[in-house]
């Protein structure tokens, strides 16, 4: 199944660490948080990624173009006709990675719509390029297929600065509220699943369209958005403190999102 990962934001709340790199390229344990997210999907059998690029997108493009030398030792001949010799066993993951330039100033909704041209049809997943969790993606997908609606979001319970979900007892999202001041319920933790009808019906094509506003709000209004509750670990990387916390967990061997 294809996975769109939103990688185009400017990371303004973590500018101390993200002046020269896009936030998805900030490293946890020596590899970008984007790599960690993709490894989580790979662990559940999903290896076809569409990266919706924007701010400092060429940095992400270069990482994947140079991926093999980045993860393996190598010898390079610098003279005429010099070649690169990779050492050791090939470590490159069996991924298909499409790097889609979705615009420097585009908002998340515009990025999803522009990246969607690389989808091959059928159910697809969407997530953010700056948060990790031990989400059971197999269970998420089974839940999505069981209810027959257009969309599913993963609901988590961290501090209230994200889109809050008002949820009915059967799991149907009754209302999607974009970034309330105070949150007492579940919030959108990313790790979303959608049917093609979401892209076909719910996007205007505007540059400033935010995924978490009209598209998801209207999907909820139409009774077509469900929530998969995730009670386990989930952590965004929005601040320098959170960046340091994730690196600390990895260094201690206590990274809950390492499911591979």
The pLDDT of residue 136: 96
Q: Does 38 have pLDDT greater than 80?
A: yes
CATH number of 2-69+94-154+192-208+240-251: 3.90.550.10
Query: What distance in Å separates the CA atoms of residue 41 and residue 47, rounded to the nearest whole number?
Result: 7
Could you report the per-residue pLDDT of 231-244, keeping only the tens digit for each?
999 999 988 888 99
The pLDDT of residue 181: 47
β 74-76/164-167 pair status: unpaired
Kindly list the distances between the CA atom of residue 158 and the CA atoms of 7, 135, 185, 187, in Å, as whole numbers in the listed order.
Answer: 22, 15, 9, 7
Average pLDDT across the chain, whole number: 89
The pLDDT of residue 109: 97
Q: Does 210 have pLDDT greater than 90?
A: yes
What pTM value is reported for the model?
0.87
Q: Does 182 have pLDDT greater than 50?
A: no
**What residue spans define the domains of the chain?**
2-69+94-154+192-208+240-251
Mean pLDDT of 28-50: 96
Q: Does 249 have pLDDT greater than 90?
A: yes
């Amino acid at each position: 199944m294809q996975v769109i990962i939103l990688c185009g934001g400017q990371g303004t709340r973590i500018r101390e660490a993200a002046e020269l790199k896009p936030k998805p390229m900030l490293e946890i344990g020596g590899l970008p948080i984007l790599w960690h997210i993709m490894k989580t999907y790979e662990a559940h059998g999903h290896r076809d990624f569409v990266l919706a690029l924007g701010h400092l997108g060429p940095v992400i493009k270069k990482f994947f173009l140079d991926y093999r030398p980045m993860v393996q030792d190598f010898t390079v001949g610098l003279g005429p006709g010099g070649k690169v010799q990779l050492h050791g066993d090939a470590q490159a993951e069996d991924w298909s990675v499409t790097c889609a330039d979705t615009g420097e100033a585009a908002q998340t909704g515009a990025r999803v719509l522009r990246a969607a041209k690389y989808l091959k049809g059928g159910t697809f997943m969407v997530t953010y390029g700056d948060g990790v969790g031990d989400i059971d993606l197999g269970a998420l997908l089974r839940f999505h297929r069981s209810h027959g609606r257009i969309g599913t979001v993963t609901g988590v319970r961290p501090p209230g600065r994200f889109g809050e979900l008002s949820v009915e007892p059967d799991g149907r999202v009754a209302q999607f509220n974009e970034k309330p001041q105070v949150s007492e319920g579940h919030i959108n933790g990313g790790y979303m699943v959608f049917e093609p009808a979401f892209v076909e019906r719910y996007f205007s094509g505007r540059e400033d369209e935010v995924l978490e506003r009209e598209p998801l709000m209207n999907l909820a209004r139409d009774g077509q958005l469900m929530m998969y509750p995730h009670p386990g670990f989930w952590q965004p990387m929005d601040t320098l403190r959170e960046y340091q916390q994730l690196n600390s967990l990895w260094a201690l061997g206590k990274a809950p999102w390492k499911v591979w």
